[in-house]
Amino acid sequence: MEFAVPEELQTLSARIGTFVRDDIIPHEHDPRWTSHGPTDDLREELNGKAKTAGLFPFHVSKGYGGLGLSHFGKAIAFEAAGYSMLGPIALHCAAPDEGNIRLLEEVANPEQKKRFLEPLAKGETRSCFCMTEPAPGAGSDPGQLQTTAEPDGNGFILNGKKWLISGAEGAAFAIIMARTGNGEGEATLFLTELPNPAFKIEQVIDTLDSSFTGGHASVSNEGLRVSGDAVLGEVGRKGFRYAQVRLAPARLTHCMRWLGSAIRAHDIATGHARSRTAFGKPLGAHEGVSFMLADNEMDIHMARLAIWHTAWLLDKGDRASAQSSMAKVFCSEAIDRVADRSLQILGGPGITRDTIVERIYRESRAFRVYDGPSEVHRWALGRRVLEGRMQ
């Protein structure tokens, strides 16, 4: 039992913290941070700052110039990066690229790695992951997948709509999940370079959140032809398994980054509680406010412990399915509570964009939905309990 953070990770965390505070936070009012996320132009400028700071790319494997961080290492570093929502953008450890890098590292063949992974890992490109579909397709239940991939010569023809595809606009390539047969669980992943006229971005959707570069798009695949070497992994029933390879740790890195944002919101609320007065004393001298700060601290503390524990399991090689579900539910709900309380403590200023808390609040609300809404995880966890599969 050892909760100490190794010194080199403490140092890394401090470096990232300084970088975020000095180089990134000043950009939070940059108009290029649009309602559809930061523009690529802003992203590239921030990436440049990260390079100057010697932190780009830091989280990928050493072969691509990174530090080859463990899951626990990421827990420490991504929390620090998330102190500004632009931090992970600047440091190239944001979704969906961060998860796509891991997926490609585990499943791609050497040629695919060279063509897709290497430039992505080095931060030269962006990517997207196309699983979710509009009703009645794959949503919380990926088994409802409707996009089809029909064999065609040495390749496939893909047809079907995708939806809420983060980062599609501007991505250099897509990983697309499609049905390659009629049986249950038939799902294959395909790689395709972008732009491609048959991968038609119909709309960048207006959403509650705004931290993903490229926003979230609806996409129509209309006769998208891919060659046989576009298959990621195997054709057939493994698509969902690969998606899990991506999703379980990806859920956890989301928790890490948003935990950083929750801490930011809490710090801003704390500052306000110290300086703003009401009814003859600082807000923080009112228990109605200070109890919220105490609850924030507890939620932050507990969320961090949940993340660390799951990261430790993943580092041991455990799949940590139940634990990453628990961490996702607990963290997404705790982080949302912290954002909500922080906004409430701020009062009037909380509902304005004068502080970043307003954005954090919207962002953390959306996190309770994506990567599996709380209800899907509770349903899966409840089943595990009943079937005696929690351990």
Q: Which stretch binds its own copies (CB under 8 A): 19-27, 93-101, 173-181, 320-328?
A: 320-328
Q: The tokens of 230 are what?
A: 């576009």
Binding region for its own copies (CB under 8 A) out of 87-95, 228-236, 243-251, 303-311: 303-311
Question: For residues 197-216, which are near its own copies according to CB under 8 A?
Answer: 205-209, 216
Residue 375 within binding range of its own copies, rule CB under 8 A: yes
Interface of this chain with its own copies, residues 139 to 168, rule: CB under 8 A: 139-141, 143-144, 163-164
In the complex with its own copies, the residue whose CB is nearer, 246 or 272, is 272
What pairs with residue 221 in β-bridges? 160, 199
Nearest Cα to Cα of residue 9 among 88, 86, 67, 90 = 67
In 3D space, the residue among 132, 125, 118, 234 whose CA is nearest the CA of residue 176 turns out to be 132
36 is an interface residue for its own copies by CB under 8 A: no
Cβ atoms 190, 156 nearer than 8 A: yes
Residue 328 touches its own copies, criterion: CB under 8 A = no
CA-based nearest residue to 256, from 13, 3, 11: 13
Least Å distance, CB 307 to its own copies, is: 10
Is residue 293 a contact residue for its own copies (CB under 8 A)?
yes
Please report, as residue ranges, which positions from 216 to 255 form the binding site for its own copies (by CB under 8 A): 216
Query: In the complex, what is the shortest distance from the CB of residue 32 to its own copies, in angstroms, rounded to a whole number?
Result: 15
Calculated CA dihedral for residues 69, 74, 75, 79, nearest 10 degrees: 140
Tell me the DSSP string of 367-383: HTTSSS-HHHHHHHHHH
Q: What are the C-alpha distances in Å from 282 to residues 113, 274, 279, 289, 292? A: 57, 6, 8, 10, 14
- Of 150, 294, 319, 389, the one binding its own copies (CB under 8 A) is 294
Cβ-based nearer residue to its own copies, 236 or 349 = 349
65-104 binders of its own copies (CB under 8 A)? 72
Binding positions for its own copies, 120-139, rule CB under 8 A = 132, 135-136, 139
Cβ contact 314:252 at 8 Å: yes
378 is a contact residue toward its own copies (CB under 8 A): yes
We find the least distance from the C-beta atom of residue 182 to its own copies, in angstroms, to be 16
